[in-house]
């Protein structure tokens, strides 16, 4: 394969247009064209970014090595199946599918056809998170809030599968221990499914994550706080700010410490808290995510979020959602 990936975008709605316009500008992508079941939308976007329109997925697949699937979640399984069966690599927007069974089916199919599945858990590429990549994050307790004003887009799935799944994927990337117990509840306000949800996940290693997600909020919020023995980290994914508080032994009255504890450690030094605000690069998370996908197709990188990771996040999301439904009965 040449150093450029021939790629197409299936579904050019709210998010798909951004996939297409990035792919038109990334040097190892050759954006061959787009397909959308809404011909007016396909026409509008093909003109906007100067690319071809294909009349069906099958015709598009004859011209590409890989695709981005940015269609509504309930269609992911069938669209991805069609692409994988033709031997094409697939980037599937989150959540991977609507059911774990469908995700497992696609993973098996991708193995059989020797193609990559990457899943669009974009927060993994958020520059505020990447700014912390030098830290050993192993949290005992995580608190996350993700809120957004109501929009009808995305309501084809409950809030747990639309918004909370971003945080579930992040939490599973930080805590490498099986889930032991889940408590959850939720409320329907604007739709017939769950619009506000809270979940507390207990892991086998004792770590706990508390997640709140709402799609009926006045303002947007996307914040995580993580606590461990000597480290407290906060990330504001929207503002692109991360903050680090490290506890370590230091001489009393160290002028750089923001807090001093009377506690003296085994090293004879006073426990003190030091604050850092790492520099966050101004990078575009979607562009970084697509570059990772293209490099994975070219064999030079591994997908940051593969089909298995996408399935794991979905599995926990569905368990949370089932717990909420139990509470409704
Ligand atoms: P959207 O409704 O704005 O766009 C979907 C597009 O797909 C529409 O243009 C529609 O005509 C087209 N379409 C529908 N069925 C199709 C099919 N079978 N084949 C081809 N085209 C089809 O939705 P959206 O907000 O762009 O969301 C799309 C996907 O992206 C969803 O899975 C959603 O969860 C995900 N998403 C992810 C993020 C993120 O942060 N990673 C953000 C928004 C949406």
Q: Is 328 a residue whose pLDDT tops 90?
A: no
Q: How many CB atoms lie within 10 A of CB 76?
A: 26
In the chain, where does the domain assigned CATH 3.30.360.10 lie?
Answer: 125-282+316-328
Position 1 scores a pLDDT of: 47
Question: Strand order of the sheet with strand 5-10?
Answer: 52-53, 29-35, 5-10, 66-69, 89-93, 117-120
Q: Taking the model in full, what pTM does it have?
A: 0.95
Q: State how far the Cα of 49 lies from the Cα of 299, in Å rounded to an integer.
A: 28
What's the token pair of residue 85?
């069966």
Would strands 52-53 and 29-35 be described as parallel, antiparallel, or unpaired? parallel
Which residue's entry shows tokens 């294909």?
A: 54
Predicted confidence (pLDDT) per residue in 199-209, tens digit: 999 999 999 99
Predicted confidence (pLDDT) per residue in 192-201, tens digit: 999 999 999 9
Q: Is 83 a residue whose pLDDT tops 70?
A: yes
Residue nearest to atom 9 of ligand 1 (CA): 13
Position 52 scores a pLDDT of: 97
Residue nearest to atom 1 of ligand 1 (CA): 13
Predicted confidence (pLDDT) per residue in 13-33, tens digit: 999 999 999 999 999 999 999
Cα(92) to centroid of ligand 1, in Å? Answer: 10
Q: What residue ranges line ligand 1, CB within 6 angstroms? A: 10-16, 35-38, 41, 70-73, 75, 79, 93-94, 120, 122, 153-154
Angle between helices 165-174 and 307-328 (to 10 degrees): 120
Closest ligand 1 atom to Cα of 38:
11
240, 250 contact by CB (below 8 A): no
Q: Is the dihedral of CA 20, 22, 27, 28 positive or negative?
A: negative
Give the distance between the most distant pair of CA atoms in the chain.
Answer: 73
Taking domain 5-121+285-305, whether its CATH number is 3.20.20.140 is answered by: no
Q: Is 279 a residue whose pLDDT tops 70?
A: yes
Lowest mean pLDDT among 130-144, 151-165, 260-274: 260-274
Cα(75) to centroid of ligand 1, in Å? Answer: 9
Tell me the percentage of the chain whose pLDDT exceeds 90: 88
Position 2 scores a pLDDT of: 53
Predicted confidence (pLDDT) per residue in 215-253, tens digit: 999 999 999 999 999 999 999 999 999 999 998 877 767
Position 271 scores a pLDDT of: 82
CATH topology classification for 125-282+316-328: Dihydrodipicolinate Reductase; domain 2 (3.30.360)
Q: State how far the Cα of 29 lies from the Cα of 154, in Å rounded to an integer.
A: 28
Average pLDDT (72-78) is 97
Question: What are the φ and ψ backbone dihedral angles of 327, each rounded to 5 degrees?
Answer: -65, -25
Question: What are the φ and ψ backbone dihedral angles of 241, each rounded to 5 degrees?
Answer: -125, 130
C-alpha to C-alpha distances, 6 to 23, 24, 62, 287, 304, nearest whole angstrom: 10, 11, 11, 17, 21
In the chain, where does the domain assigned CATH 3.40.50.720 lie?
Answer: 5-121+285-305
């Amino acid at each position: 394969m040449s150093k450029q990936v021939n790629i197409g975008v299936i579904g050019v709605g709210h998010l798909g247009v951004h996939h297409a316009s990035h792919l038109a500008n990334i040097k190892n992508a050759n954006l061959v064209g787009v397909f959308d079941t809404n011909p007016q939308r396909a026409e509008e976007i093909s003109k906007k970014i100067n690319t071809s329109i294909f009349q069906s997925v099958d015709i598009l697949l004859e011209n590409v090595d890989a695709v981005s699937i940015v269609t509504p979640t309930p269609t992911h399984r069938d669209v991805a199946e069609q692409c994988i069966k033709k031997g094409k690599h697939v980037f599937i927007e989150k959540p991977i599918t609507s059911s774990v069974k469908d995700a497992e089916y696609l993973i098996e199919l991708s193995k059989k056809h020797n193609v990559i599945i990457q899943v669009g858990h974009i927060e993994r590429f958020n520059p505020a998170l990447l700014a912390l990549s030098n830290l050993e994050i192993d949290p005992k307790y995580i608190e996350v809030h993700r809120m957004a004003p109501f929009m009808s887009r995305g309501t084809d799935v409950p809030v747990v599968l639309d918004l909370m799944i971003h945080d579930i994927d992040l939490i599973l990337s930080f805590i490498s221990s099986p889930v032991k117990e889940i408590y959850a509840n939720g409320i329907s306000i604007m739709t017939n499914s769950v619009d506000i949800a809270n979940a507390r996940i207990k892991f086998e290693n004792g770590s706990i994550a508390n997640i709140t997600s709402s799609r009926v909020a006045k303002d947007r919020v996307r914040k995580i706080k993580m606590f461990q023995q000597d480290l407290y980290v906060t990330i504001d994914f929207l503002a692109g700010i991360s903050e680090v508080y490290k506890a370590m032994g230091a001489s009393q009255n160290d002028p750089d410490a923001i807090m001093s504890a009377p506690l003296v450690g085994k090293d004879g030094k006073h426990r003190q808290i030091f604050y850092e605000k790492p520099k966050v690069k101004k990078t575009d998370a979607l562009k970084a995510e697509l570059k990772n996908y293209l490099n994975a197709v070219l064999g030079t990188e591994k997908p940051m979020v593969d089909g298995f990771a996408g399935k794991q996040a979905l599995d926990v999301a569905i368990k949370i959602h089932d717990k909420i439904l139990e509470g409704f009965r």
